[in-house]
Amino acid sequence: MPDPTVAPPQLARSGDPFAALRVVHFVSRLRRNETLQVRDVTAALNAEYLDWYFSEKVLLAELVQLQANWSISFHGEDRIVLDRNERGHTLLIVDSTKMSSFLVNEARRLADACDEELRRFTLGDGISADN
C-alpha cells in the first residue's frame, strides 16, 4: 500500500507561524557578516524545504519582522540589515554574542505559536485561522 501520510505542498504565507519558524531556523544557519542576495537565500530555503514554497516576498516580510523584533529587543543595534543592490534585495546578518540566542528565542516563540494553532485546530473541530 502507498504511504497514506503523504502531505500536500504548502505555500508559505506572511505571518504564518509555521512558515516563520522555518525561515528563522534557516536564517539561523546562514553565514554571518556577509551580504547575501535575498533571491539566493529564497532559492536555498526552497531547496531545504521541498514540500514548501517560499516566495521572495514572503521571505522579505519575515525578515522585516525579524529585523523589527531585533530592534525592539536591542534598541539601536542594526544587526539584521536589509538593503538593495543592482541584483535586488540583500541581507546582512552581523554576528554578535546576542544573535544566536535571539534567533533561538524567536524560534521558540514561533514553535509555541505553532503549538497553539494546532491546539486551536484540534479543539475547534478542524477550524483554523484560515477557515
pLDDT in tens, 95-125: 988 999 999 999 999 999 999 999 988 887 6
Ordered by where they begin, the domains of the chain are 10-123 (1.10.10)
- Listed in sequence order, the residues at least 6 apart from 82 whose beta carbon sits closer than 8 Å to its beta carbon are 38, 60, 63, 64, 67, 89, 90, 91
**Whole-prediction pTM value?**
0.89
Q: Does the pLDDT value for residue 40 go beyond 70?
A: yes
Lowest-pLDDT range of 23-27, 76-80, 87-91, 107-111: 76-80
Distances (CA, A) of 90 to 52, 80, 85: 22, 11, 7
pLDDT in tens, 45-85: 999 999 999 999 999 999 999 999 999 988 767 899 999 99
Whose CA is closest to 103, among 35, 24, 17?
Answer: 24
